[in-house]
Amino acid sequence: MNEDGVVRIWTEVARESKGESVTLAHVCAAAVTLVGVNGVGVTVRVGSSAWATMHATDETASTLEELQVTVGQGPCVDAFSDGGPVLAADLTAREYQLRWPAFAPGALGAGARAIFAVPLQLGAIRWGAMDLYRSVPGGLDPDRLADALAFAECVNILLLDGAGDSAEPTRQQTDRTAHQAEVHQATGMLVVQLGVSAETAFARLRGYAYAHDRKLGDVARDVVARRLRFDTESPDGGGPP
Amino acid sequence: MDEQLLAEAFVEVADTLVDDFDLLEFLHRVTVRCADVLSVSAAGLLLSDQRGALRMIAASSEQTRLLELLEIQTDEGPCPDCFHSGKPVAVPDLSTAGDRWPVFAAQAREIGFASVHAVPMRLRGDVIGALNLFDTRPGNLSPGTLQLGQALAAVATIALMQARAIRHRDTLAEQLQTALNSRIIIEQAKGVIAERRGVDMAASFALLRKNARDHNRRLSDLARAVVEGTEVI
């Protein structure tokens, strides 16, 4: 991806975290500033049907997340199930009133006029969605959408690391090999080798790469080429195979 | 160029786009058709991820080296140049492209390609991706062939718009992200199948496609089920 974009985003996140380890709160606060919205909320799926709100930057954002969790509809729910962003530029539009009959009026009542949801996902791995709201109507221009998607990737990494302590986040974000097809193929192979979920498989792959100070794509390439197996070594890639 | 093949390609498009069709399978077929109809060795489609980078979405062959060559173009190559200028890029002789794109040119030649062309995928004023055409013979594609390439790139764009309309997504940006994520699901599923069956990634993709066709499933739906373990291939 665009290197400048990544740097800009992590500079803002670092400004928010003031040198402490990066949390969801820092990422959401930085998203408010850079995407140019009033508030941000993050809600994740727990088990097969329940939702949990991990963070909301203000009371309106908190109400929006709570509302969606309660009524089971809204942009976050749709972004999660469709696997793509949902961009509602004006909640008073008939289209959204019909699409979310329980959510839209409540959201307007809470002070939101436009709402944008981006899924927190990596292929078949799905965590939830990030909602960004504005109190005034209007769409999200392509650059701001790009920022929102980049923030969603930051949130993915935090969720993957257990929401709170993300070591060397900048390096993880700027590893240009992280998007290679082999990374996803290797994740699939580890699902079978280890008998775990794709999320756990991906976490193990990343854990190995960082423990061995290697690029994610390079480790993935070894797995795909069958030079490296994970089912014959210690957990979390502690030692060489 | 074979007019019969071209006619078949457009009939297939008209047939496919009427219902809740399988976008990833469709884009794969567009690239296969491109290679056939335009008489080139390989074709690939790259889409903008909305963040200034291009990502591979479909290829006429799932051979790893070709996918890598498409992926390199997140950084450099004829497709990003085509994407940013909005104009076709022609490289009739890859041996002269080393200064312009050192990594891309070296790998393309290593695979055995001698020439490469890129045409933009356009939607009204915007460029949303690029179609990449590789050949083992040097030389320029004829203006007529390039025009056909543009037409097939337009077919891929129409498919994206149609998928967007069917799923009631408001913007193309929503559809692009969904499609790119579907491609990731397919890569994950290829890994699962490759490991379980002890085959390479190209064979794994062929198994996934065959299963989807046999059971009338969408490629990305079946791929998700495979990764989540609810279906076994």
In a mutagenesis test of the B interface, which of A185, A223, A231 is the best target, namely the one with the most B β-carbons within 10 Å?
A185
What pLDDT does residue A238 have?
Answer: 45
Structure ipTM: 0.90
In a mutagenesis test of the A interface, which of B20, B48, B49, B51 is the best target, namely the one with the most A β-carbons within 10 Å?
B51
Please compute the mean of the pLDDT values over residues B72-77 and round it to a whole number: 90
Question: Chain A within 8 Å of B175 (Cβ-Cβ)?
Answer: yes
Is residue A154 pLDDT above 80, yes or no?
yes
What pLDDT does residue A1 have?
Answer: 44
Report the range of poorest mean pLDDT among A4-13, B82-91, B115-124.
A4-13
- The mean pLDDT value of chain A amounts to 87
Cβ neighbours of residue A33 under 8 Å, at least 6 residues apart? A12
What pLDDT does residue A49 have?
Answer: 80
Taking contacts as CB-CB distances below 8 angstroms, the residues of chain B near A87 are 170-171, 173-174
- The mean pLDDT value of chain B amounts to 90
Locus of tokens 């173009």: B73
Tell me which CATH code domain B182-228 carries.
1.10.10
What pLDDT does residue B192 have?
Answer: 98
CA distance B226 to A108: 40
Is residue B56 pLDDT above 60, yes or no?
yes
Ordered by start, the domain boundaries in chain B are 3-168, 182-228
Taking contacts as CB-CB distances below 8 angstroms, the residues of chain B near A118 are 177
What pLDDT does residue A93 have?
Answer: 96
CA distance B187 to A205: 15
- Indicate the pLDDT class of residue A169, thresholds 50, 70 and 90: low
C-alpha neighbours within 13 Å on the C-beta side of residue B1: 18
C-alpha neighbours within 13 Å on the C-beta side of residue B221: 12
CA distance A14 to A106: 34
Give the single-character DSSP code of A213.
T
CA-nearest residue to A75 within chain B is B169
Taking contacts as CB-CB distances below 8 angstroms, the residues of chain B near A198 are 188, 227-228
Report the range of poorest mean pLDDT among A97-111, A177-191, B51-65.
B51-65
Please compute the mean of the pLDDT values over residues B201-220 and round it to a whole number: 95
The fold adopted by the segment(s) B3-168 is Beta-Lactamase (3.30.450)
Output the CA torsion B61→B65→B70→B76 (10° steps): -160
Please compute the mean of the pLDDT values over residues A159-180 and round it to a whole number: 63
What pLDDT does residue A25 have?
Answer: 93
Between residues B1 and B93, which one has the greater pLDDT? B93
Is residue B232 pLDDT above 90, yes or no?
yes
Q: How far apart are the first and last CA of chain B?
A: 38
Q: Among A27, A221, A9, which residue's Cα sits nearest to residue A120?
A: A27
Q: How close, in Å, is residue A142 to chain B by CA atoms? A: 7
Q: In what order do the strands lie in the sheet with B42-48?
A: B54-59, B42-48, B126-135, B115-123, B89-91
* Contact call for B178 and A83, based on CB within 8 A: yes
pLDDT in tens, A185-214: 999 999 999 999 999 999 999 989 988 999
Share of chain B above pLDDT 90, in %: 66
CA distance A146 to B119: 24
Share of chain A above pLDDT 90, in %: 64
Please compute the mean of the pLDDT values over residues A80-106 and round it to a whole number: 94
CA distance A220 to A9: 26
CA-nearest residue to B194 within chain A is A189
Is residue B82 pLDDT above 90, yes or no?
yes
* Contact call for A82 and B52, based on CB within 8 A: no
- Indicate the pLDDT class of residue A3, thresholds 50, 70 and 90: low
pLDDT in tens, A18-36: 878 888 999 999 999 999 9
What pLDDT does residue B88 have?
Answer: 94
Q: Among A46, A48, A110, A38, which residue's Cα sits nearest to residue A74?
A: A110
Domains, chain A, in order of start with CATH, read: 3-167 (3.30.450.40), 175-237 (1.10.10)
- Indicate the pLDDT class of residue A13, thresholds 50, 70 and 90: confident
What pLDDT does residue B2 have?
Answer: 64
